[in-house]
């Protein structure tokens, strides 16, 4: 197997390094140092926490992966390919639909291709851990509460309490940026989504996991490959590795499509 580019993984995550290593692709690691926080423009929903009116949860990890790529501390050489990624956990909350153009315009959120361009994005741990991302549905609003990395044991406990006995969504955004601007003039972004079902967790099970495994570096306060995944997850729809934080099957697909990998 050969590669047409020198691959750089812009991530300090040991899980992403482990998963990329499993593909047998040669790569080096050059972590991108960006704040693990996002400040999202917000309004007030009925629960009093912020939300994004009309935003698509899918866009947020894409935007963050691209932001990490653009924060790479040096220019890429012509034969280099930078890979960055971001994973977020979303729990779903249904409520009565909000109406009124004034309310919808208060958040100032960019969506679609404009949002994917990645300009002017900031994140905040407060927002990642408690933000509801609201999208319109017929007759109801689906507010996607974003669960990022917990700032404390208490916050980790609350996140797992919220995920207990329910289904949540895990989305990983990946950004590929080539040093050769003539062949690939702009970043290429894509994402993968998995649905995860937790069995009801006892309070003492949650406390045991948080105290022993200290999941403060994990979106949603859990690692699927750890103890809580063994005893608490009853079903996954989609890629297991995406839930770990890196859908390597999808990365491989894009690298083949972009002729980065060859077996000749």
User: What CATH number does residue 77 fall under?
Assistant: 3.90.950.10
Question: Which residues share a beta bridge with 136?
Answer: 141
DSSP state of 202: P
66 contacts 118 by C-beta, under 8 angstroms:
yes
DSSP for 35-84, written as a single string:
-S-B----EE-TTSSEEEET--TTHHHHHHHHHHHHT-SSPPPTTEEEEE
Please write the tens of the pLDDT for every residue from 32-43: 988 755 544 444
148 contacts 128 by C-beta, under 8 angstroms:
yes
Question: For residue 191, what pLDDT is reported?
Answer: 96
Strand 131-136 versus strand 50-53 pairing type: parallel
Query: At which residue do the structure tokens 């140092």 appear?
Result: 33
Question: For residue 190, what pLDDT is reported?
Answer: 96
In whole angstroms, give the CA distance from residue 13 to residue 24. 18
Range of the domain at 128: 2-262
Q: Catalytic: which of 24, 86, 141, 217?
A: 86
Torsion (CA) 87, 33, 190, 9 in degrees, nearest 10: -100
Query: Which residue positions in the chain have pLDDT lower than 70?
Result: 36-55, 57, 93-143
Identify whether 192 is a catalytic site residue. no
Q: Pick from 8, 5, 55, 10: which is nearest to 32 by CA?
A: 10
Question: For residue 33, what pLDDT is reported?
Answer: 83
Q: Burial of 36 by CB count in 10 Å (0-12 exposed, 13-18 middle, 19+ buried)?
A: middle
* Angle of the 153-163 helix axis to the 203-213 helix axis, nearest 10: 140
How many folded domains does the chain comprise? 1
Q: How far is CA 55 from the centre of its chain?
A: 15
DSSP state of 220: G
Q: Pick from 215, 174, 218: which is nearest to 64 by CA?
A: 174
- Token pair of 259 as six digits: 């002729």
Please write the tens of the pLDDT for every residue from 71-103: 999 999 999 999 999 999 998 765 443 433 333
Q: Pick from 157, 107, 171: which is nearest to 129 by CA?
A: 157
């Amino acid at each position: 197997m050969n590669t047409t580019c020198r691959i750089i993984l812009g991530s300090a995550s040991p899980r992403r390094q482990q998963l990329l290593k499993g593909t047998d692709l040669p790569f080096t690691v050059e972590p991108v140092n960006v704040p693990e926080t996002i400040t999202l423009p917000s309004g007030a929903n009925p629960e009093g926490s912020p939300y994004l009116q009309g935003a698509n949860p899918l866009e947020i990890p894409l935007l963050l992966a691209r932001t990490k790529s653009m924060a790479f501390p040096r220019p890429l050489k012509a034969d280099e390919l930078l890979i960055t990624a971001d994973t977020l956990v979303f729990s779903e909350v249904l409520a009565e639909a909000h109406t009124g153009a004034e309310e919808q315009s208060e958040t100032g959120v960019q969506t679609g291709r404009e949002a994917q361009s990645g300009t002017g994005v900031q994140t905040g741990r407060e927002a990642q851990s408690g933000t509801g991302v609201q999208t319109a549905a017929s007759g109801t609003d689906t507010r996607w509460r974003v669960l990022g990395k917990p700032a404390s044991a208490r916050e980790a406990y609350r996140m797992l309490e919220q995920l207990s006995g329910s289904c949540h969504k895990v989305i990983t955004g990946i950004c590929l940026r080539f040093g050769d601007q003539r062949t690939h003039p702009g970043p290429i972004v894509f994402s993968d989504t998995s649905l995860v079902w937790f069995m009801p967790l006892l309070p003492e099970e949650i406390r045991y996991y948080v105290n022993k495994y200290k999941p403060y570096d994990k979106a949603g306060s859990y690692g699927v490959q750890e103890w809580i995944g063994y005893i608490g997850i009853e079903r996954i729809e989609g890629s297991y590795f995406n839930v770990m934080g890196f859908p390597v099957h999808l990365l491989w697909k894009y690298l083949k499509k972009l002729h980065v990998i060859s077996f000749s």
